[in-house]
C-alpha cells in the first residue's frame, strides 16, 4: 500500500505534463482552504495554492511574507488527502529565504504530492505581485537558487517567476530562467499581453500568466491568452474574493431578516454531502 501511494505522489508532475500536452492550456484555480478547493475541484482539474489566499485565510494578514513553509506543506498534505488526482500548483514565494530551505521545501512538497511550484525572484520584505514596492534579487542570486531547486526536484515542474517591471530586464531574466532549465516562466504584474506575445516567440518554454481581479494585468479570456502564447493560466484568488462577497452579503441579509435562516441557499445536508465526497475519496486511497 505504501509503495502504491508513493507511486501516485511521484507521478503528480507527470500528470500535469500530460494535461499540458493533451490540452495545450491548463488553468489553475486559486484556493484558500480545503473546502474552497473541494468546490473548485468540481469544475476544474487544476488548483493553485495561492500565497495571497493562504495568508488571508490562515493568518488574516496581507501577502507580504508572513507565510511559513511548514504551514504551506501541511496545507498541501490536507489537499492531497481529499483530492488525490487534481494537479496542484503551489506558490512558494522566494523559497522562504535561503536556497537550502527552498530545496527542502520542494523535496517535502514533492513527497506530499504537489505537481509544481512557482519560485519568484523578489527580495524580502516581499509584496503581492500586483502591488508596488517590490524589490528584485540580483539575477545570479536567483539563478543559484533556481538551479539548486531544479537539481533536487524529480517529476515536479518548476515555474520561474520574475517580478521585474523593466522590459529589457524581463527579457534577460526569462531567457536565463529557460537556459537554467525552468519548466515554464512567469512575468507577474504585466499591464499588457504585448510582452508575452514578444517573448513567447523567443523563449523555448511554456509561458504562465497570472490573473487576479483588480490587479495590474488586464482581464483576458482564455482564447486571448492562448493566442498570445500562454500555456498555463493562474487565477490567483477567485475563491477568496467570491467568499468575501458571499459572506458579507449573507451577514447583511441575516441582520436585515431579523436573524432568520429561512430561505438559505445552502443547508446542513448540502454541505455535508460535499464533505462526505471528500471522505470517500480519502478512504479510496487506502484500498
Q: Per CATH, the architecture of 2-247 is what?
A: Alpha-Beta Barrel (3.20)
pLDDT at 41: 97
Does residue 75 carry a pLDDT above 90?
yes
Q: How confident is the model at residue 131 (pLDDT cuts 50, 70, 90)?
A: low
Does residue 8 carry a pLDDT above 80?
no
Q: How confident is the model at residue 43 (pLDDT cuts 50, 70, 90)?
A: very high
Q: How confident is the model at residue 126 (pLDDT cuts 50, 70, 90)?
A: confident
Give start and end residues of each alpha helix (H) in 26-183. 34-40, 51-54, 69-82, 99-112, 139-152, 167-180
Q: With beta carbons less than 8 A apart as the criterion, state whether 37 and 83 touch.
A: yes
Average pLDDT over residues 13-22: 96
Does residue 225 carry a pLDDT above 90?
yes
pLDDT at 191: 85
Average pLDDT over residues 264-279: 89
Q: How confident is the model at residue 11 (pLDDT cuts 50, 70, 90)?
A: confident
User: What tens digit of pLDDT does each residue of 162-194 get?
Assistant: 999 899 999 999 999 999 999 999 999 888 899
Q: How confident is the model at residue 256 (pLDDT cuts 50, 70, 90)?
A: very high
pLDDT at 9: 44
- Where do the domains of the chain lie? 2-247
Residue 232 three-state SS: strand
pLDDT at 192: 86
User: What tens digit of pLDDT does each residue of 89-106 get?
Assistant: 999 999 998 999 999 999
What span, in angstroms and rounded, lies between the C-alpha atoms of 18 and 27? 14
What span, in angstroms and rounded, lies between the C-alpha atoms of 245 and 109? 32
Burial class (CB in 10 A: 0-12, 13-18, 19+), 11: middle
C-alpha cell at 8: 501516485
Does residue 210 carry a pLDDT above 90?
yes
Average pLDDT, the chain: 91
pLDDT at 45: 96
- pTM of the full structure: 0.91
Q: How confident is the model at residue 286 (pLDDT cuts 50, 70, 90)?
A: low
Does residue 5 carry a pLDDT above 50?
no
pLDDT at 3: 40
Portion of the chain with pLDDT greater than 90, in percent: 76
Amino acid at each position: 500500500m505504501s509503495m502504491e501511494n508513493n507511486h501516485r505522489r511521484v507521478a503528480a508532475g507527470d500528470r500535469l505534463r500530460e494535461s499540458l500536452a493533451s490540452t495545450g492550456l491548463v488553468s489553475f484555480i486559486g484556493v484558500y482552504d480545503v473546502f474552497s478547493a473541494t468546490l473548485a475541484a468540481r469544475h476544474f482539474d487544476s488548483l493553485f495554492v495561492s500565497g495571497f489566499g493562504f495568508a488571508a485565510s490562515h493568518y488574516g494578514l496581507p501577502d507580504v511574507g508572513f507565510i511559513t513553509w511548514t504551514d504551506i506543506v501541511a496545507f498541501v498534505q490536507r489537499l492531497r488527502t481529499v483530492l488525490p488526482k487534481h494537479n496542484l500548483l503551489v506558490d512558494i514565494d522566494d523559497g522562504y529565504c535561503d536556497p537550502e530551505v527552498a530545496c527542502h521545501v520542494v523535496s517535502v512538497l514533492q513527497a506530499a504530492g504537489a505537481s509544481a511550484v512557482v519560485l519568484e525572484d523578489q527580495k524580502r520584505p516581499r509584496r503581492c505581485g500586483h502591488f508596488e514596492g517590490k524589490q528584485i534579487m540580483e539575477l545570479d542570486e536567483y539563478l543559484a537558487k533556481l538551479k539548486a531547486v531544479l537539481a533536487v526536484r524529480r517529476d515536479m515542474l518548476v515555474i520561474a517567476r520574475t517580478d521585474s517591471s523593466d522590459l529589457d530586464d524581463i527579457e534577460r531574466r526569462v531567457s536565463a530562467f529557460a537556459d537554467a532549465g525552468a519548466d515554464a516562466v512567469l512575468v507577474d504584474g504585466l499591464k499588457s499581453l504585448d510582452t508575452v506575445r514578444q517573448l513567447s516567440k523567443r523563449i523555448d518554454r511554456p509561458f504562465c500568466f497570472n490573473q487576479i481581479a483588480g490587479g495590474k494585468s488586464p482581464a483576458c479570456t482564455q482564447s486571448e491568452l492562448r493566442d498570445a502564447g500562454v500555456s498555463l493560466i493562474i487565477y490567483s484568488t477567485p475563491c477568496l474574493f467570491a467568499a468575501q462577497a458571499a459572506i458579507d452579503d449573507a451577514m447583511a441579509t441575516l441582520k436585515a431578516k431579523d436573524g432568520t435562516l429561512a430561505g438559505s441557499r445552502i443547508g446542513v445536508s448540502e454541505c455535508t454531502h460535499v464533505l462526505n465526497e471528500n471522505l470517500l475519496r480519502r478512504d479510496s486511497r487506502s484500498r
